[in-house]
């Protein structure tokens, strides 16, 4: 027997808001990390700082790529949600007009 997943469009909108908020927090965290790296570089120099900066840069690039992929999936989910809402609205109009 096939199982059904039941999610309302309101639940999806709520999750979308939560994810967008989370993405913002992650981006703010990276901005803060960049600021801290700038401060570190004011006081320290040399290979250790360059190594930390290099690792931080790689991590930030990887995270940015992952966030973009997640945002793309979220946009697709949002579009699916809009299509479902529209179809539901059209179905209600058909039912009330008959």
**Does residue 10 form part of some domain?**
no
pLDDT value of residue 96:
62
* Structure confidence by residue, pLDDT tens digits, 4-44: 667 788 888 898 999 999 999 999 999 999 999 999 888 88
Tell me the average pLDDT across 52-56.
93
> What are the angstrom distances between the C-alpha of 26 and each of 23, 32, 62, 66?
5, 10, 13, 11
Residue 98 belongs to a domain: no
Mean pLDDT of the chain: 87
Domain range spanning residue 75?
Answer: 21-93
Residue 65 lies in a domain: yes
Report yes or no on 28 lying in a domain. yes
Q: How many domains does the chain have?
A: 1
Over residues 1-12, the pLDDT tens digits come to 567 667 788 888
Cβ distance 71 to 23 under 8 Å?
Answer: yes
Is 55 inside any structural domain? yes
33 found inside a domain? yes
């Amino acid at each position: 027997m096939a199982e059904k997943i039941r999610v309302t469009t309101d639940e999806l909108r709520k999750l979308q808001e939560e994810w967008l908020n989370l993405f913002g927090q992650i981006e703010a965290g990276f901005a803060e990390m960049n600021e801290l790296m700038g401060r570190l570089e004011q006081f320290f120099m040399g290979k250790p700082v360059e190594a930390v900066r290099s690792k931080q840069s790689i991590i930030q690039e990887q995270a940015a790529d992952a966030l973009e992929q997640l945002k793309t999936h979220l946009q697709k989910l949002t579009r699916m949600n809009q299509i479902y809402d529209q179809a539901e609205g059209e179905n209600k109009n058909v039912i009330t007009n008959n």
